[in-house]
């Protein structure tokens, strides 16, 4: 395999929209409230968010390999380090490079937004590293979904809104919850697929604690609860109707997840969950124009 292809796959492009969606929604909500959009902060926020996720993915790639939980026979997509496409050292360097570039984006955002961005940026970088690295990785306990809900939902949407307005909003927090739940569902599918191997390797994810039946219910709740919360954010009927266009595909995805046997077929469900969140984010953002 070509090195360029290996690096591309190691970044996990099918789920990078999870980092992009909250930036779009937070910025769209700010435009709705302020009537203006600051393009340079939007660009720096987008690049920074994607780079942090890429760095987190790379740390996860090499971290799982070093801990022995990723093997060539895993059910999930092939990982660059475990497959021998890239060395562990080079993947670690790639992760640190992504974080370094994110810091460069953050320097401008700190100049623009002040000390709150310092706190958000440092917390995001530390959490991205600690997700798989360190003595007690987040991914090896039951808090993976909560981590994603907070950092790819509440913080990402509110931070994007703040960088556009330099103010905070309760609506931004609600929108963050709406985006964070389906983002957490991506992790739920991943851990549901890997439950047996994770349990055998001492990786006690939330799915390991709950078991498969309850994890399926958790996934359904993470995907459907945002629709139940929409009236608190979008009181207008036209705006609600536009965003609800993503509900039928969501229901079909939940049904498919429930009936997909344990195996590589769940990889498609994981990618579709990320895509579903992105579509929901686009429709929610478009609803602010109505």
| Predicted local confidence at residue 170, as pLDDT | 93
| Predicted local confidence at residue 71, as pLDDT | 62
Judge whether 270 lies within some domain: yes
Judge whether 4 lies within some domain: no
In this predicted model, which residue has the larger pLDDT, 76 or 184? 184
| Predicted local confidence at residue 237, as pLDDT | 82
Judge whether 2 lies within some domain: no
Q: Which residue intervals of 36-140 are DSSP H helices?
A: 39-67, 80-83, 88-113, 115-130
Residue-wise DSSP of 203-248: ---HHHHH-HHHHHHHHHHHHHHHHHHGGGT--SHHHHHHHGGGHH
Q: Is the dihedral of CA 269, 271, 276, 277 positive or negative?
A: positive
Domain of residue 220, CATH code: 1.10.600
Judge whether 83 lies within some domain: yes
Number of independent structural domains in the chain: 1
Average pLDDT across the chain, whole number = 92
Judge whether 121 lies within some domain: yes
| pLDDT at 99 exceeding the cut of 70 | yes
Judge whether 22 lies within some domain: yes
Judge whether 176 lies within some domain: yes
Percent of the chain with pLDDT over 90: 78
Domain that holds residue 261: 12-287
19 vs 157: CA distance, rounded Å: 10
| Predicted local confidence at residue 236, as pLDDT | 79
168 vs 161: CA distance, rounded Å: 7
| Predicted local confidence at residue 197, as pLDDT | 87
* Half-sphere exposure of residue 203: CA atoms within 13 angstroms, side-chain side: 25
Could you tell me the pTM of the whole model? 0.94
141 vs 36: CA distance, rounded Å: 42
| pLDDT at 91 exceeding the cut of 90 | yes
Percent of the chain with pLDDT over 70: 98
């Amino acid at each position: 395999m070509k090195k360029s292809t290996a690096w591309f796959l190691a970044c996990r492009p099918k789920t990078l929209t999870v980092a992009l969606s909250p930036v779009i929604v937070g910025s769209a909500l700010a435009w709705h409230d302020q009537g203006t959009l600051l393009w340079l902060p939007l660009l720096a926020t987008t690049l920074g968010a994607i780079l942090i996720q890429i760095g987190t993915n790379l740390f996860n790639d090499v971290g799982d390999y070093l801990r022995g939980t990723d093997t060539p026979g895993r059910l999930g997509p092939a990982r660059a380090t475990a497959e021998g496409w890239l060395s562990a050292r080079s993947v670690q360097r790639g992760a640190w490079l992504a974080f370094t570039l994110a810091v460069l984006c953050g320097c401008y955002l700190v100049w623009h937004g002040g000390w709150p961005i310092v706190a958000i940026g440092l917390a995001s970088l530390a959490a991205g590293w600690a997700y798989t690295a360190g003595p007690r990785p987040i991914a090896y306990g039951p808090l993976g979904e909560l981590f994603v809900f907070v950092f790819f939902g509440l913080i990402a949407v509110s931070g994007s809104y703040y960088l556009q307005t330099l103010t905070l909003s309760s609506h931004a927090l609600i929108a963050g919850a709406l985006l964070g739940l389906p983002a957490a569902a991506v992790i739920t599918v991943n851990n549901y697929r890997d439950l047996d191997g994770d349990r055998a390797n001492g990786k006690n994810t939330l799915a390991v604690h709950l078991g498969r039946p309850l994890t399926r219910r958790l996934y359904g709740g993470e995907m459907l609860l945002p629709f139940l919360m929409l009236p608190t954010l979008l009181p207008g009927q036209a705006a609600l109707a536009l965003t609800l266009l993503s509900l039928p595909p969501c229901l079909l995805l939940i049904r498919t997840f429930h009936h997909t046997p344990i195996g590589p077929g769940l990889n498609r469900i994981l990618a579709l969950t990320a895509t579903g969140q992105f579509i929901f984010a686009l429709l929610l953002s478009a609803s602010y124009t109505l």
